[in-house]
Amino acid sequence: ADPGNNNTYRPEDTQNFTLLLAEFRRQLDDYGAQTGKHYLLTIATGAGEDKYTKIEMANIHQYLDWINLMTYDYYGAWATTGPTNFHAQLYNTPNNPATGITNTYNGDHAVTGFLAAGCACEQASTGCAI
């Protein structure tokens, strides 16, 4: 379980997620061949390094049209550092009270990390808090 929010996570879930996306893509393509249309397959994923490293980024992009990086809601009531902090910062700041991996929660770190993990830049889209 993920101690931050009680989500169940098993090591095999990383590969199972890739297999799930491959099956979705296969079925959408089969249906698209019948209808003459292309059906989009996208994901919105957490932008914290402790989240996206559980995804086989170098493998999943071939099944997806877009990968939406949720570069917001980095902190909330679930956060061990408290319910408030920088909500959607673009860059880190020395004033960030977070420690450990959560000190890397910012848009720049997320985009750099996603690309380094194998996300195709033409498929990446950042979500912005407004």
pLDDT at 98: 81
Inform me whether the pLDDT recorded for 64 exceeds 70: yes
Which tens digit of pLDDT belongs to each residue from 111-121?
999 999 999 99
For 16, other C-beta atoms within 10 Å of its C-beta total 11
**Domain boundaries in the chain?**
13-126
Mean per-residue pLDDT for 37-42?
A: 98
Query: Structurally, what CATH architecture does the domain formed by 13-126 represent?
Result: Alpha-Beta Barrel (3.20)
Whether the Cβ atoms of residue 85 and residue 20 lie closer than 8 Å to each other: no
Half-sphere exposure (CA, 13 Å, Cβ side) for 28?
Answer: 15
With bands split at pLDDT 50, 70 and 90, how would you rate the model's confidence at 3?
Answer: very low
Task: Please state, in angstroms and rounded to a whole number, the distance separating the CA atoms of residues 75 and 82.
Answer: 8
Whether the Cβ atoms of residue 29 and residue 87 lie closer than 8 Å to each other: no
Q: Which amino acid is at 19?
A: L
